[in-house]
Structure 1
Amino acid sequence: MKKIAEVVTRPIGRIIAYWTVTIFLAISISLSGIGQLMRFGGNVDVVTHIGFPLYITNILGAWKLLGVIAIVIPGFPRLKEWAYSGIFFLMTGAALSHAFAHDYGDGGFHMILPLFYAALAIASWALRPKSRKLF
């Protein structure tokens, strides 16, 4: 465990950790956003089961894709701050919406997955290099 901490504190280790977490977050959120925009799989059932109108998939899917673009492209540090906070609030809001609707999914999947994505967003934000920070 100490070995991992030493690697992450080194600049190259931190950069590798940042890009690993960020790419995983970007791919996951992008696939989720595309699935919502195209209404693949259980996206329709998941949204309507908790009482949201179906058009919300268009809004959420578009926000997810725009957030990923903002995080991944170089520059625009203020936009990145907004994108990270947007993804965090989107994912924690999804988990809470499912909790309030008593729709936990198999093994709590509808709560665990969005909270995992929120944790990835926090990790990516915390590990980002100075060139991607506002201050």
Structure 2
Amino acid sequence: MTTYSEQIAKAASRPIGRIIAYWSVTIILAFSIALSGIGQLMRYGGNVDLVTDIGFPLYITNILGAWKLLGVVAIVMPGFPRLKEWAYSGIFFLMTGAALSHAYANDYGDYGFHIILPLFYAALGIVSWVLRPNNRKL
């Protein structure tokens, strides 16, 4: 007779649990990165201050916004496993680079928000990459 916790562990190890976890994390990641990319392309809200306060030129929002949207498309669309690898690594480097840029500029934001949020997105990218199904792997 198995305990309840053993049954839950078995269910989580089944492929359907892994697929649900993958898509949940990936949808949150894709939605967040896409909104950020759109905001940067439109220079909406605090996106202008966010990059100029740490010394970057304003045109960087066009570059970052476009790459974010292209990365989201690459991760979500079926096929192209090599492109997905590049997109995941791009998101990781983009988010860790953002956190480090804010840290080096002493621009931590309220409660370290400018550091914590990009690192959270980098972690989501790692989790999505680890959980991806075999048909999305290289």
- TM-score > 0.5, shorter chain as reference: yes
CA–CA distance in structure 2, aligned partners of residues 3 and 64 of structure 1: 39
Give the superposed CA RMSD. 1.2
Aligned to 1:76: 80
1:127 to 105, 127, 131: 131
Measured in 1, the distance between the counterparts of 2:6 and 2:74 equals 34
Aligned residue in 1 for 2:110: 106
**Identical pairs, percent:** 81
Separation of aligned partners in 2, 1:64 and 1:87: 7
Deviations 1:33-66 (A, max 9, x none): 0000000110000100000000000000000000
Residue aligning to 1:31: 35
Task: Provide the C-alpha distance between the structure 2 equivalents of 1:124 and 1:64, rounded to a whole number of angstroms.
Answer: 16
Gapped runs of 5+ residues in structure 1? none
Distance in structure 2 (CA, Å) of the matches to 1:42 and 1:4? 43
2:57 to 53, 57, 73: 53
Paired amino acid for 2:104: F
The 1:29/1:2 distance shift into structure 2, 3 A limit, reads farther
Aligned residue identity for 2:25: V
Matched residues, number: 134
- 1:7 is displaced (CA, Å) by 3.2
Amino acid at match of 1:71: I
How much does 1:6 deviate? 3.5
Q: Distance in 1 between matches of 2:8 and 2:111?
A: 30
Q: Partner letter of residue 36 of structure 1?
A: Q
1:100 is displaced (CA, Å) by 0.2
Q: Is 1:18 aligned to 2:22, yes or no?
A: yes
| Secondary structure of the structure 1 residue equivalent to 2:45 | coil
In the aligned structure 2, how far is the partner of 1:39 from the partner of 1:2? 50
